Amino acid sequence: MPTRTFDEQSVSSFDNPGGDLVVAGVSKRFGGVPALSDVSLTIEPGKVHALIGENGAGKSTLGKIISGVLEPDSGTLTMGGTPLVLRSPREAIGHGIITIAQELAIVPGLSVAENVYLGSEFATAGFVRRREVRRRFRELAHRAGFDLSPDVLAGSLSTADQQKVEILRALSRNASIVVMDEPTAALSGNEAAALHEIIRSLARRGSAVILISHFLSEVLSLADTITTLRDGHLVRTVEAKDATTESLIEGMLGRTLSSAFPDKKLAGSDAPIVLEVDQLRAPGVDDCSFVLRRGEILGIAGLVGAGRSELARAIFRDAKVSQGTVRLDGTELAGHSPHRSIHRGLVLIPESRKSMGLMMSRSVRENISLSRLDLLSRFSWIAGIRERREVARVMEQTTVKAASMALPAMMLSGGNQQKLLFARSMMKTPSVLIADEPTRGVDVGSKRAIYDLLAQMADDGMGIIVISSELDEVLGLAHRVLVMRNGRFTADLTGSDMNEQAVLAAAFDETIAN
């Protein structure tokens, strides 16, 4: 007789009868340090409930307790009035609670359909009925409005499509509650907009969506209810219609944020040129030329795929240059060596700190000193005392907060991880710093600290290039903005011409209407 490990009825219905999820007096400590203290809130079906707060505020810890990843030290969970004890994510799934984490749980070597039904396959006598899996997948994807092939390998998909796979997995299990932790952190603007509509559709179908996000505009646009956490304590829960960006920031920080960006101190037009790029061609870069002066913050804007990161890598000599020159302080940078660029005084903060920047399992000290081992070593041995002294100096300079230099980088908050990259760059004060997505995945308080750091570096005479997908960040920091499209510059904006409309028009290659 056929057997199955999945309730087939759940495929054809998105009804979610779980009822309210009530979190009452929940506390959690790690090594004696409180991560959550007596937190209580109610998650209602059919609504998007946002959790916001700085890194370390406790929002991800709360999400993990609801998801069964962590058990609370005290307090209770109830769903629909029934006590809920979750000892594992599998138990949470059994109660209709599905998590879509920032680090997606995709098996790259399995097909899309296999990923969706992983752990709940249709089987007969121990053999998976693949034809049935594909049929059920097509039905589910059609109902969700996703255009995904069941047979393509999940590892070949874009990040946005991989998130769709995770969402289909949640729908296949008839999720009552979907926990989303920073779902749009790695997405382009169009991909994020598509995901927003998916989140709204989940709520319309009756699921409760718990949204953990650093993007306050996203929270205000999507959420019905917003809970603010600070230092493990619940500050307040409000209806989204009664909240503003300013009130959310004040709740997160415990103080007002007088300005999102530091005051600009314009570099003079007679300031020395520190970087000159002339007719540069490289993969994704087509005939780009510009100059950067000492004390100037130059913003590079454009759509995802416009060639911004490719330009940064070409200048840094981390990509093969087929034509053109790069001059640093008047001397040409030749060859193909990022190490030589660093030695000459040109440093790059990469767009992904985890995959391109930091050694997450190694210590804070090792991550920072990595760029200047030649300075800190003698006869192939690192001078430990000098290393610790220099690391302490740049940690103070870049406001990195860590309990110990020996702490692994993975144990730091996102903001402090990002500042580790700045600290590494400052081991030898560079002439030029290229910062690609300098505040990706960090909270609003850490963003301001990084903005202040960039402004101070420029005040000290460094040339700064800022590449960011956040248009307000580019406009708020930069003295001048270059806009890219298809590997080329389409606009050079300064003064009153440096505005959102002009940047978007140049990015889309459209004429601005008068």
Measured N-to-C along each axis, helices 159-172 and 189-204 cross at an angle, to the nearest 10 degrees, of 10
Q: What is the average pLDDT across 351-375? A: 80
DSSP letters, 329-368, are TTEE--SS-HHHHHHHTEEEE-S-IIIII--TTSBHHHHH
Q: Check for a shared fold between 3-253 and 259-345+463-514.
A: yes
Counting residues of the chain whose pLDDT is more than 70, the rounded percentage is: 87
Q: Inform me whether the pLDDT recorded for 388 exceeds 80.
A: yes
Domain boundaries, the chain: 3-253, 259-345+463-514
Q: Inform me whether the pLDDT recorded for 466 exceeds 90.
A: yes
pLDDT tens digits, residue range 234-289?
Answer: 999 999 999 988 888 888 877 665 567 888 887 777 889 999 999 999 999 999 99
pLDDT tens digits, residue range 141-163?
Answer: 887 677 788 888 988 887 778 87
pLDDT tens digits, residue range 83-112?
Answer: 999 999 888 988 889 887 766 677 888 888
Instruction: Classify domain 3-253 at the CATH superfamily level.
Output: P-loop containing nucleotide triphosphate hydrolases (3.40.50.300)
Q: What is the pTM of this model?
A: 0.61
Residue 313 CB neighbours (<10 A): 24
Burial class for 190, CB neighbours closer than 10 Å (0-12, 13-18, 19+): exposed
Adjacent-strand bridge partners of 273? 293
Question: Is 3.20.20.140 the CATH number for 259-345+463-514?
Answer: no
pLDDT tens digits, residue range 390-410?
Answer: 888 888 888 888 888 888 888
Q: What distance in Å separates the CA atoms of residue 210 and residue 199, rounded to the nearest whole number?
A: 10
Q: Who contacts 78 (Cβ-Cβ below 8 Å, separation ≥6)?
A: 21, 22, 24, 84
Q: Read off the pLDDT band of 6 (50, 70, 90).
A: very low
pLDDT score, position 239: 96
